[in-house]
Structure 1
Amino acid sequence: MSGFRRGTRIGIDVGKARVGVSRCDPDGMLAVPVETVPRSEASIERILQILAEWEPLEVVVGLPVNMRGEDTPSTADAREFAAELHRRSGIDTRMVDERLSTVSAHTALRASGRSQKNSRSIVDQVAAVVLLQHAVDTEKSTGRPAGALITPVQEPPRDV
């Protein structure tokens, strides 16, 4: 585990209707579902409560890009959500390519015998688990954190 930073991490899968939340243990052994948060004005507030409860080392937010790695209509939404979460929490936040996390989540749920209709309420949590586990495994194997760290936007100086 050379280069692996010990600490709990929170995974976030941002969707238009729901936000999946997962977490991993401090040693990054296993990512597990936490909650599906309905997407609304209160989504960030609920996730801030979850962050306060788990006190993570960092937050990993899925970056939805197409199979060619290009932005999609959901990309800007996820970036804005992550930036707002970072701004309000002060916790290091990383954007990680989530190209196959939702597909993997649906596959895993089907394999466990759940229909797509019966899985709607938890597919976002499972996608967040897949995303977070991938990020943790990447850091363990490379010694470098996955994805790109969000840097705070500098406020322009104000004339006094």
Structure 2
Amino acid sequence: MEVKIGEKPSDFSLPDAEGNPISFYSKLGKGPVVVFFYPKDDSHVCTKEACSFRDNYVKFCDYGAVVIGISSDSVESHRKFIEKYKLNFILLSDLEGKIRKQWKVPRALFLPGRVTYVFDKDGICRYKHEGVMQDIAHVEGALDIVKNISSSSSKIEEATSSSSTPS
């Protein structure tokens, strides 16, 4: 099933850099979830993208977001990539490309595609950005949407709490 804006994808579970299974749905409920598919650990554009997520990670956390990167690299490759660049977010190994195929992440020539999604706390896709050579644009676009989701949810919470206050 292709993940489209306004839809909620099926749950999945993939191993993180330590080999622990992480499910997508387990990360929902507290705030936005950013999922970005990238072609390859330690390649030029992918490293720039990963380091940009790393450098902006505190901002994502300030808005309650979880960041998850997914590629077809092995758990060991992810572990080395994290150590080398001091990455501070979750990397999942989709070794067989099962989730990439399930979500219909497109290929670009001979490379696996680069797509970033932002989901609200309920798992509804609110943003999708495709672009194999656009490393930083994925991060900037995701951060803008995370800010919007967080501020909208804050306004809803404020309105709910103020409407329940006795007059």
What TM-score comes out, normalization by structure 2 length? 0.31
